Amino acid sequence: MTSTMQKHSLNKSTRIGVLYGGLSSEREVSLISGKNCYEALCRLGYENAELIDVDQNIARTLAERKVEVAYIALHGKYGEDGCIQGLLELMGIPYTGCRVAASALTMNKALTKSVLKDAGLPVIDSVVIKAGTVNGKPVEIGLSYPVMVKPINEGSSIGMSKVDKPEDLKDALKTAFKYADEVMVEQYVYGKSLTVGVVEVAGEAKVTPILELRPTKSEWYDLEAKYTEGGTEFILPAELNEETTRAIQDTTLKAHVAAGCRGMSRIDFVVDADNKFYILEINTIPGMTPLSDLPAQAKAMGIGYDQLVECILNTAVN
Strands 16-20 and 69-72: what pairing? parallel
Catalytic residue among 38, 263, 287, 305: 287
Has 265 been annotated as catalytic? no
Closest to 281 measured CA to CA, from 33, 113, 46, 74: 113
Please give the C-alpha separations between residue 70 and each of 203, 205, 215, 259, in angstroms, as whole numbers.
Answer: 18, 21, 34, 22
Catalytic residue among 17, 24, 26, 108: 26
Has 283 been annotated as catalytic? yes
Catalytic residue among 266, 292, 293, 305: 266
Has 287 been annotated as catalytic? yes
Has 274 been annotated as catalytic? no
d(CA 289, CA 185): 29
Q: Residue 155: what residue type?
A: G
Catalytic residue among 268, 292, 293, 305: 268
Has 262 been annotated as catalytic? no
Give the helix/strand (H/E) hosting 126.
strand 126-130
| DSSP string of 45-58, one letter each residue | T-TTEEEEE--TTH
Has 86 been annotated as catalytic? no
Catalytic residue among 24, 36, 108, 156: 156
d(CA 21, CA 57): 13
Has 281 been annotated as catalytic? yes
Catalytic residue among 68, 81, 212, 281: 281
Catalytic residue among 38, 95, 188, 227: 227
Catalytic residue among 283, 292, 293, 305: 283
Has 99 been annotated as catalytic? no
Which residues are known catalytic residues?
Answer: 26, 156, 227, 266, 268, 281, 283, 287
